[in-house]
């Protein structure tokens, strides 16, 4: 409808023309690109980690601009224009001769007089916002309007340090402002000890959590996560100012896992984690003695370790002195187990064999070891049996003669000296040799002498022949001459 004080509506066929006049004028409001765009940061652009921060982005413009808040180019929040401008209604004497406004769908304009509808406009392109004036006065203007966007971070983090941008835009232009926010680390620090703890089953353990950098005693919370990372459990510790102690008593395998200490100072939280490993190694290995082993035969030894557990492995070593003869490793599946290690070895002589059991911690380093040793006896039948005659096996009648019978064997063999099958002397296993003497050899002492050595594994026989010759006396020699 053109500006003016008179409006002549279309006259229906057969009706008389009507003329309507009013002191009101209608005109379109001004339009404007975004102006006065600002980005404020509260409490400021220098923050301490954990502080709450609020960004307020606002701008003027007609129509109200769309506001976008970005951090490092990434959109954080967006807001469109505010509520649509109000629909304006032109009334005279309480009736509604004309209506205009903006919205979707576009409004219908109606002109009435004395309650009778004179003219109506259907939907079309959205009409501009209108300003209603009366006698040159402006009781209401639909724009320009102000838009505002508010965005908050409840607890600022170090990675929130960035350039923040507020962009305001409408169909007539855009405006961009930037603010740089720096977040400094909070001085709160947490130190836990020990970082990794290895404790024996049934023992006690104290975990320590110390906080610094908080002006008042922080709030401590202990949480345990089991080995399978499947269950969290809050545990009550004992607090002493900025120190929290967690006492673990009578440890068992189910007490293994990660113990996390959380210290909270205001809205800032720091954590530290202790890993607890429980081991079981209650007694020395039991080494079963195989008994005597026959020379050249294979010995079988068994080493048993009971009720053991490790988060890693158990290693069993078989040693002879400082020499490793055999090594074997055993794993664990989360419960106590009994471990048995077997050594098969062919031995040639008596020797000390050792079973050394080592319980390994995560990473492979040694946590604890225990050893058991056994003296392995090697038995054999008699060997190296000998019979010596001194001064020799050719003697003169009347000479002294000594027989020495000896032999090797395990256990030490029984020694028997015989002359032509007749036993002359016997020596028990306690003796390593047999000695027999004739103070004056006679002609009848000429004979076969035998040394027999025997034990439960066999016997060995050696023979020596002794000859005794007669001598001429001095009287006999004088008679001859």
Q: What is the pLDDT of residues 195-212, one digit of tens each?
A: 888 899 999 999 999 999
Of 28 and 401, more confident: 401
The contacts of residue 400 (CB under 8 Å, 6+ apart) are: 437, 438, 439, 440, 441
Is 259's pLDDT higher than 80? yes
Highest mean pLDDT: which of 91-95, 161-165, 226-230, 231-235? 161-165
Structural contact between residues 211 and 204, judged by C-beta atoms closer than 8 angstroms = no
pLDDT (0 to 100) of residue 143: 38
Is 395's pLDDT higher than 80? yes
**What average pLDDT does the structure give for the chain?**
81
What count of Cα atoms within 13 Å lies in the side-chain half-sphere of residue 284?
Answer: 9
Q: What percent of the chain has pLDDT over 90?
A: 51
The pLDDT tens digits of the residues spanning 284-338 come to 999 988 888 998 888 899 999 999 998 889 999 999 999 999 999 999 988 999 9
Domains plus CATH for the chain?
6-182 (2.60.40.10), 189-279 (2.60.40.10), 286-376 (2.60.40.10), 380-469 (2.60.40.10)
The average pLDDT across 401-420 equals: 94
pLDDT band at 266 (very low <50, low <70, confident <90, very high): confident
Is 108's pLDDT higher than 60? no
Of 143 and 397, more confident: 397
pLDDT band at 125 (very low <50, low <70, confident <90, very high): very low
pLDDT (0 to 100) of residue 195: 86
Least confident of 10-19, 93-102, 245-254: 93-102
């Amino acid at each position: 409808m053109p500006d003016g004080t008179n409006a002549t509506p279309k006259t229906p066929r057969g009706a008389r023309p009507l003329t309507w006049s009013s002191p009101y004028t209608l005109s379109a409001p001004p339009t404007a690109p975004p102006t006065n765009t600002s980005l404020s940061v509260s409490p400021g652009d220098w923050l301490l980690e954990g502080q709450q921060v609020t960004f307020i982005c606002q701008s003027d413009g007609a129509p109200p601009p769309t506001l976008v808040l970005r951090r490092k180019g990434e959109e954080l929040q967006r807001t469109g224009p505010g509520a649509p401008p109000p629909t304006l209604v032109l009334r005279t004497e309480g009736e509604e001769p004309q209506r205009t406004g903006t919205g979707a769908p576009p409004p219908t304009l109606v002109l009435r007089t004395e309650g009778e509808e004179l003219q109506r406009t259907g939907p079309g392109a959205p009409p501009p916002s209108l300003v209603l004036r009366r006698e040159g006065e402006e009781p209401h203007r639909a724009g320009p309007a102000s838009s505002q966007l508010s965005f908050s971070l409840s607890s600022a983090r170090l990675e929130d340090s960035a350039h923040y941008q507020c962009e305001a835009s409408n169909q007539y232009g855009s405006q961009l402002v930037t603010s740089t926010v720096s977040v400094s680390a909070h001085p709160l620090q947490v130190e836990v000890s020990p970082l990794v703890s290895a404790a024996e089953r049934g023992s006690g353990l104290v975990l320590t959590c110390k906080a610094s950098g908080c002006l008042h005693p922080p709030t401590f919370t202990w949480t345990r996560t089991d080995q399978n990372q499947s269950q969290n459990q809050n545990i009550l510790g004992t607090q002493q100012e900025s120190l929290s102690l967690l006492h673990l008593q009578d440890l068992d395998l189910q007490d293994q896992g990660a113990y996390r200490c959380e210290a909270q100072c205001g809205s800032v939280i720091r954590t530290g984690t202790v890993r607890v490993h429980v081991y079981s190694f209650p007694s020395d290995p039991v080494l079963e003695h195989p008994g005597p082993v026959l020379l050249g035969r294979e010995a079988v030894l068994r080493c048993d370790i009971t009720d053991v557990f490790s988060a890693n492995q158990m290693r069993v070593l078989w040693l002879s002195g400082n020499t490793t003869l055999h090594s074997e490793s055993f794993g664990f599946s989360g419960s106590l187990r009994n471990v048995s290690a077997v050594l098969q070895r062919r031995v040639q002589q008596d020797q000390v064999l050792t079973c050394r059991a080592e319980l390994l911690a995560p990473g492979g380093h040694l946590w604890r070891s225990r050893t058991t040793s056994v003296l392995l006896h090697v038995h054999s039948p008699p060997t190296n049996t000998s019979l010596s005659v001194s001064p020799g096996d050719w003697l003169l009648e009347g000479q002294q003669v000594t027989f020495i019978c000896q032999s090797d064997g395990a256990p030490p063999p029984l020694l028997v000296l015989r002359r032509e099958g007749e036993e002359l002397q016997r020596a028990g296993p306690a003796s390593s040799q047999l000695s027999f003497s004739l103070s004056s050899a006679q002609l009848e002492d000429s004979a076969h002498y035998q040394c027999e050595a025997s034990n439960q594994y066999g016997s060995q026989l050696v023979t020596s022949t002794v000859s005794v010759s007669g001598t001429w006396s001095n009287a006999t020699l004088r008679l001859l001459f």
